[in-house]
Amino acid sequence: MVLDYVLGETLNGLTTHAGHDAAVDFLDRLEENARFHIDSLTADTFATAKALFRQYERFSFVDAAIVAYMQTEGLGYLYAFDDDFDAASDVYRLDTATNPYQPE
């Protein structure tokens, strides 16, 4: 799952650092890959994201939106380089390639 906010940040970063063609290529590949799903926040989850943003000084608003989405959807794990997610007690940040839902 890729939250639309994350997609926006990623495409903006790619455009800035790699160019528009690279960003469009990434978007096309993401949309063509059946393993990725782009989703948006509901109004209730958006309200939760705002509350989390206010609560955790370490969270960007996008971080708060991701955690709110995870809480709403009952997801416990995410892949992230950003250790700010460690502030949320109900989110487990993965830093290995092991899938917690299908461990090897």
What is d(CA 8, CA 66) in angstroms, rounded to the nearest whole number?
Answer: 13
Could you give the residue ranges of the DSSP H alpha helices within 1-104? 4-18, 20-32, 43-55, 61-73
Q: Where are the domains of the chain?
A: 2-76
Q: Using one digit for the tens of pLDDT, what is the confidence trace for 12-24?
A: 999 999 999 999 9
pLDDT at 5 over 80: yes
Of the candidates 34, 81, 59, 35, the one whose C-alpha atom is nearest the C-alpha of residue 71 is 59
Q: Which two tokens stand for residue 66?
A: 């991701």
**What is the pLDDT, as a whole number, of residue 104?**
63
pLDDT tens across 52-72, in order? Answer: 999 999 999 999 999 999 999
